[in-house]
Amino acid sequence: MALSLNSSALMLQVSELAERQHYPAGALYVVATPIGNAADITVRALHVLALVGRIAAEETRNTSQLLARYGISKPSIAVHEHNECSAAERVIEHLHNGERIACVSDAGTPGISDPGARLVDAVCKAGLPVIPLPGASALTTALSAAGAWVSGFSFIGFLPTKAKQRATQLRALANHPLAIVFYEAPHRIVETTRALAEAFGNAREILIARELTKLHESLHHCTLAEGPSWLEEDATRQRGEFVLVVQGAPEKEAADDTHDALLGTLLEELSVKSATRIAATLTGAPRNALYERALQLSKLGSEDEGAE
Ligand code: SAM
């Protein structure tokens, strides 16, 4: 839809708001970009991307294509998982020369399951300013549509890809009282939702948010028991990018299992009986309850090993 005269005037006013802010030279600007729909970029992000001398980007070709949509073209520095520290040195050199540099990732907010955090560390350590520009993230986009059952949350991002490590991490989270947010790739989405039900039980709520802001966006609420079969019913439900938001542990579970981390660690080396004895000595908790829980944990552990 073309902008009307009134909305053009409004855009101009908003652009002026972005321009009026002071943008110090020699600073790193951490700029969020869209997670799907290219229109989800802020006016201030566009202003800063046009202002900076250089762009530190996860994948320079993707970023050039995105920026071309906004009529912006800038020299870039590749900053990805495998070169973040050495690339940081180059960025700092340019910043010392008084350049402004923007850091962007392939999509969404840098540093959120994306490169950026180590660059930020290095720039801070060099005593130079880091200026964040807020914008899209799959994390906040999914949470904004989750509902009131998410009153607080913890963000995990991607789980380990190996079944045993994934089960160990999930076991450690099983009693976490807050909602937990995961990112997942399409080829692992079914097995991950299955692993969530195994670790957290069948009853908790899950939001399966797929292809947010894109043409095939879908947000599906169900229980952990229903998640895998819902995904398997239709192959298109397994395509694209996913955010999973899982309800936190009910209060009772959270209280019952406060000693899981300790028991889990002890069980890696000891029998159920020995782990119980040491945990009881260390915590003063009732031995019977600890024994029951240690049994459950050790059973879960051997199932995971079988799954590998
Ligand atoms: N930095 C990004 C952010 O702020 O959300 C995340 C980057 S991470 C490498 C990519 C993962 O984020 C995807 O595998 C998916 O789990 C999630 N994600 C990114 N875009 C998404 C979208 N449009 N819909 C659902 N999930 C998305």
Q: Domain ranges for the chain, please list them.
A: 21-136, 139-250, 258-307
Instruction: Report, at the CATH architecture level, how domain 139-250 is classified.
Output: 2-Layer Sandwich (3.30)
Please tell me if the CB atom of residue 239 comes closer than 6 angstroms to any atom of ligand 1.
no
Residue 1 has pLDDT above 60, yes or no: no
Q: Which of 30, 105, 113, 120 to mutate to test the pocket of ligand 1 (most atoms within 8 A of CB)?
A: 113
Please tell me if the CB atom of residue 35 comes closer than 6 angstroms to any atom of ligand 1.
yes
Query: Residue 209: beta bridge partners?
Result: 219, 243
Residue 56 — very low, low, confident or very high, per pLDDT cuts 50/70/90?
very high
Q: 163-192: per-residue pLDDT in tens?
A: 999 999 999 999 999 999 999 999 999 999
Please tell me if the CB atom of residue 208 comes closer than 6 angstroms to any atom of ligand 1.
no
How far is Cα 100 from Cα 141, in angstroms, rounded to an integer?
29
* pTM across the whole model: 0.84
Please tell me if the CB atom of residue 62 comes closer than 6 angstroms to any atom of ligand 1.
no
Residue 308 has pLDDT above 60, yes or no: no
Residue 305 has pLDDT above 80, yes or no: no
Q: Report CA dihedral (212, 213, 216, 217) to the nearest 10 degrees.
A: 40
Fold of 21-136: Cobalt-precorrin-4 Transmethylase; domain 1 (3.40.1010)
Kindly give the distance from the C-alpha atom of residue 167 to the centroid of ligand 1, in angstroms, as a whole number: 22
DSSP 175: T
Contact residues for 308 (Cβ-Cβ < 8 A; gap 6+): 162, 163, 164
Please tell me if the CB atom of residue 105 comes closer than 6 angstroms to any atom of ligand 1.
yes
How far is Cα 65 from Cα 61, in angstroms, rounded to an integer?
6
Please tell me if the CB atom of residue 243 comes closer than 6 angstroms to any atom of ligand 1.
yes
Give the DSSP per-residue string, 88-154: HHHHHHHHHTT--EEEE-SSB-TTSSSTTHHHHHHHHHTT--EEEE----HHHHHHHTT-TT-SSEE
Identify the CA nearest to 58 among candidates 114, 105, 123. 105
Mean pLDDT of all residues belonging to the chain: 93
